[in-house]
Structure 1
Amino acid sequence: MATHRRNTACVLIAAVCATSLAGCGFGADGSGDTTGRQKVKEVPAPGSAMRLIGDGSTAYTGAQPNLPKPRRLEPGDRPPQFVVFSWDGAGEDSQKLFSHFREVAKRNDATMTYFLSGVYLLPEEKRNLYRPPQHSPGRSDIGFNDAQGIADTVRQLRLAWLEGNEIGTHFNGHFCGAGGVGEWSVEEWKDEIAQAKRFVKSWKTNSETDDAAPLPFDYEKELIGARTPCLEGQENFTRAAADLGFRYDSSGVNDQVWPERKNGLWDVSLQLVPFPGHDFEQLAMDYNFMVNQSGTTTQGDPTKHRLWGDQMRDGLLSGFYRAYDGNRAPLIIGNHFESWNGGTYMRAIEEVVEEVCTKKDVRCVSFRQLVDWLDAQEPGTLKKLRALKVGEAPKGGWASYLATDPPPTPKGVPGAPAREE
């Protein structure tokens, strides 16, 4: 029953997304913190390093500020509790939720991943520049943008990156169901990705903007991961993404266990968490909570709004503590900038950020920071972490579980194998 509900939710998300535009450190610092927390000064990249790219929509400005260097766990260390807050179709509209959650993140020592929809940097009058696979030119199930919306979104993207957040992609037209992304070939996915990059790299030309500052990053290098619309089309997308040098995918559904590589990419799927008041678990995403509370009606019974938000908050917190006190698997959460059911899910997410992100050993990070950390670890350490089941704390504690294997017993001492001549 739970699986059926999840699949239904994924299929229906396109209809809801169409109603809305938008749809930390862990390096060693010598402080004695075995998880390696490191504070980084918030300063922009030096202007002398700037090199404009193409029409000046983007620029190389040096290494990303506030992106700490990951540290390999030492034998016996307790792993950090990572939490990733990610946003599908990130854009700034009249709700100003992008700017709001940037401030929420800064107040709580967090960074996040913003999956930008490329068509949010394409003006309505230039819609025919988008040629979606298996659809007519200029078609998009989430619309396009206007000059003010593009300017506001670019500003938020610029500030978010300078603060250490990640800019991923949610692609473009958000097509689900028949003819949608689930039916696209590998080559069609590559074309969609190329268009998403192009809209970011040419937003000035397309919006006829000359005097605005560029986005301070090279999107060809910045873009390393994505989440597909409605969590569809993952198989062919990951094949295309691996060919293009992506490092992770967050388009699947998984339990709260440590990530592993699939098709060359880190699989950092959305996860199932407890659903208060129900006998099945729920995908850790605002839409999926909503569809199991008010159906596809985005503004259901007002008398239940607080209850529904509390259910999402408490479900995410239950998942958090299950990992925090158990296997320490990263908690992966997905959201949209939306006002469904009176904005109750936005309240829930903010309350979760405020409760968990400043706790001891907790790192609220972007996917980029998470996969940087995973890449820095010993394969044997990751294998041990992946052996732990949902909520399973290691028997004997972390110090013994992640200790190095004992050296072989010297020959000639009690218990040693007989000497061979």
Structure 2
Amino acid sequence: MFRLFRVLASTVALTAVAGTAQADPPQLRLPTRPKQTVIISFDSAREISQWKRSRALAERTGAHFTYFLSCVFLLSRDARDVYKPPGKSAGKSNIGFAASKQEVADRLEQIRLAAAEGHDIASHACGHFDGKDWSKADWIAEFGQFEHILENAYSINGIAPEPAGWRDFARGAVIGFRAPYLSTSKALYEALPAAGFKFDASGVSQGPALPPTVNGITRFALPQIPEGPKSRPVIAMDYNLYVRHSGGFERPSKAGEYADRAYQAFRAAFEAQYNGKRIPLELGFHFTQMNDGAYWNALERFADEVCVKADVECISFRDYVARQKDGEKQTTVGG
């Protein structure tokens, strides 16, 4: 009888242990994965309506953008002679100037609001000249013109009042550059660190690539991505799609088709990284509404879908560089 009791007791104990193990299994730690980074930027940043539209897109998706500003749009026509481009007479520009003092005031307000919202204000130089043959001194002069015009934009144009802290912002906020026409040279890369820049986004790569840091400058590159029925590579920028689709001429009747092609290209490039190595994906745009706004429509559709994902971050170049400087790894998700 005593032996039978011991057997029953042992059976009950084993059952209790087994039950406990089944009810509270050890937690498995899933391998961490970096969030997929997407970096969206805009060149020239002219039209006020597009400033507002981009900021609204950022607000609803949680994104931060980089705006590469051309400083001639901070000068009214009456003030254009303030700009003195290298090797050219004062007041020359390949892209014109602001139409009026009021337009400058409106643009300055958009810049101020965007910066306050956490967006990155960067330099696209001033007159949109091809500087491939410029010397280091020429580039330093152009950067000096940009800084002077940005810092003094209110007083140059007779706009009052100047917001408190504006000059401190103008002297310290701009740490990035993208060359007009993506035209670079040895002289440019010598001038960038001398002028205090921390990143350049003028490169082009065969596909998404991690940016190297050379002489203190983090060098980003717009990737070539597959596009269209034959998946031919194209630089991931609206202007290059515009040339691919319609030869650089407006074809508004095909805007829907072009928007869908652009969206599909953006999404395929995203999915390749999202499901793969999760290398940051860079996409470039202008404020110009090419092919009746096809590429902005594609951008909004894309950002509305991916920037809201828990394991995706749509951040600026400045954000990315700041993280690297702090020695942080890409934000991770998972266990």
TM range (shorter): 0.7 to 0.9
| Higher strand residue share | 2
TM-superposed CA distance for 1:269, in Å, is 1.2
Residues 36, 280 of structure 2: 8 Å contact kept: yes
2:50 aligned partner: 97
1:161 aligns with 2:111: no
Amino acid at match of 1:181: G
Q: Determine which of 129, 132, 147 is the counterpart of 1:197.
A: 147
Per-residue CA deviations over 1:334-361 (Å, capped at 9, x if unaligned) read: 1001111111111111111101101121
Which one of the candidate residues 231, 249, 255 is aligned to 2:200?
A: 249
CA contact (8 A) 1:183 1:233 kept: no
Task: Determine the C-alpha separation between the residues in 2 that align with 1:220 and 1:260.
Answer: 26
| Larger helix fraction of residues | 2
Q: Give the letter for the 1:225 counterpart.
A: G
**Is 1:133 aligned to residue 83 of structure 2?**
no
Partners in 2 of 1:92 and 1:159 — Cα distance? Answer: 15
**Partner SS for 1:153:** helix
Is the CA contact 1:184–1:233 (under 8 Å) kept in the aligned structure 2?
no
Q: Does 1:80 align with 2:80?
A: no
TM-score norm. by structure 2 comes to 0.85
Larger radius of gyration: 2
Q: Does 1:218 align with 2:169?
A: yes
Q: Is contact 1:123-1:206 (8 Å) kept?
A: no
Output the CA distance in 2 between the equivalents of 1:242 and 1:158: 25
| Structure 1 CA distance for aligned equivalents of residues 41 and 240 of structure 2 | 15
- CA shift at 1:215, angstroms? 6.3
Q: Does 1:239 align with 2:175?
A: no
**Per-residue deviation, 1:244:** 2.1
Q: Distance in 2 between matches of 1:193 and 1:215?
A: 21
Residue identity opposite 1:105 in structure 2: A
1:353 to 300, 303, 315: 303
How many angstroms does 1:210 deviate by? 2.1
Residue 17 of structure 2 aligns with which residue?
none
Whole-angstrom CA distance in 2 between matches of 1:308 and 1:212: 42
The question of 1:230 aligning with 2:181 is answered: yes
Kept in 2, the 8 Å contact 1:157–1:215? The answer is no
Distance 1:348 1:214, change over 3 A: farther
Question: Distance between the aligned counterparts of 2:240 and 2:174, measured in 1?
Answer: 26
Q: Does 1:274 align with 2:226?
A: yes
Identity %, equivalent residues: 34
CA RMSD of aligned residues (A): 2.0
Q: Which whole-Å deviations, capped at 9, do the CAs of 1:260-317 have from their partners, x for residues lacking one?
A: 11343111111111112134211110000000111121x12x3321111111111111
**1:156 Cα deviation after fit:** 0.6
- The 3 A distance-change label for structure 1 pair 215 and 117 is farther
- Distance 1:111-1:279 versus aligned 2 partners, 3 A rule: closer
What 5-or-longer segments of structure 2 have no aligned partner? 1-29
Q: What is aligned with 1:112?
A: 65
Deviation at 1:324, TM superposition (A): 0.9
Q: Report Cα offsets for 1:346-382 as digits up to 9, x if no partner.
A: 111111110110112111111110111222337xx79
Is contact 1:271–1:284 with CA below 8 Å preserved after alignment? Answer: yes
- 8 Å Cα contact 1:112-1:166 kept in structure 2: yes
Gapped regions of structure 1 (runs ≥ 5): 1-74, 383-397, 400-421
Instruction: State the Cα deviation string for residues 219-240 of structure 1 (Å, max 9, x = none).
Output: 2211111110000024322211
Shift of 1:212: 4.6
Q: Which amino acid in the other structure matches residue 85 of structure 1?
A: I
Checking the alignment, whether the CA contact within 8 Å between 2:151 and 2:170 is kept in structure 1 is yes
Q: 2:76–2:104: 8 Å Cα contact kept in structure 1?
A: yes
Q: Does residue 124 of structure 2 align to residue 170 of structure 1?
A: yes
- Please state how far the C-alpha of 1:76 moved relative to its aligned partner: 5.7
Displacement after TM superposition at 1:82 (Å): 1.0
Q: Partner residue of 1:207? A: 157
SS of corresponding position for 1:252:
strand
Q: 1:185 is matched with which residue? A: 135
Amino acid at match of 2:211: P
Alpha-carbon distance change, 110 to 279 in structure 1, aligned in 2, over 3 angstroms: closer
Letter paired with 1:139 = K
